[in-house]
Amino acid sequence: MGKREMGRQDKSLDSISDSPVRELFFWAQALVFALVLLVCVNAFFGRISGVKGDSMYSTLHNGDQVLVQLMGYHTPSRGDIVVVMTSYYPTDPLIKRVIGVGGDVINIDADGTVSVNGEKQYEPYIYETVHNLGNIQYPYTVPDDCIFVMGDNRNHSSDSRFSQIGPIPLDEVIGRAFFRIWPLTRVGNLS
């Protein structure tokens, strides 16, 4: 390319520098960068998950949006709110509370009281007394490398009390829901 042609190319860039086309190009680049960053963060560090249904009421409501920790979350603990995939619901992740981990013995009395390893659980987050004990036999021992999950709205939750779902293998745990971002009137940490 000769000096004359380079001079013409430089002039054409200079004339675009203050034009709306240049500004549009700048914003398009910024948008692409933001989308790539969002995809990377979503894939490796955390993601946003929506709540469908009322199984976690009153902790979470239908339509709430929560941040889910992916990276660094390997060992669920009792009380964590987790997002899981199950073969029974292959397209919709479930959001439930961890009641027991591998080796724990779960029991639910006729009055709905949940015990783990013989200790009655203090559960201020449940919506109402449990009337539906599910179709598994109690006491129930959680298999190793699995968790036992239940919704906070126990009478309206499909969870580990039912053999169709059962215990959740650790490799089906997507992550821990830790912060509600929507609706704005209820933004905050989850417990």
Report residue 130 as tokens.
Answer: 């449990």
pLDDT of 97-107, one tens digit each?
999 999 999 99
Name the average pLDDT for the chain: 86
Q: Is 131 helix (H, G, I), strand (E, B) or coil?
A: coil
- Res 28: pLDDT: 81
Active site residues: 55, 96
Q: For 146, phi and psi rounded to 5 degrees? A: -140, 165
Instruction: Give yes or no for residue 179 having a pLDDT over 60.
Output: yes
Domain ranges of the chain: 3-44, 48-189
Q: pLDDT for 119-163, tens place per residue?
A: 999 999 999 888 888 999 999 999 999 999 999 999 999 999 999
Max distance between CA atoms of the chain, in angstroms, equals: 91
Give the separation between CA 166 and CA 149, rounded to whole angstroms: 9
- Alpha-carbon torsion (118, 121, 126, 129), positive or negative: positive
CATH number of 48-189: 2.10.109.10
Counting residues of the chain whose pLDDT is more than 90, the rounded percentage is 62
SS3 annotation, 13-76: HHHHCCCHHHHHHHHHHHHHHHHHHHHHHHHHCEEEEECCCCCCCCCCCCCCEEEEECCCCCCC
First to last CA, the chain: 66
- pLDDT higher than 80, residue 112: yes
At 81-90, the pLDDT tens digits run 999 999 888 8
Predicted structure pTM score: 0.77
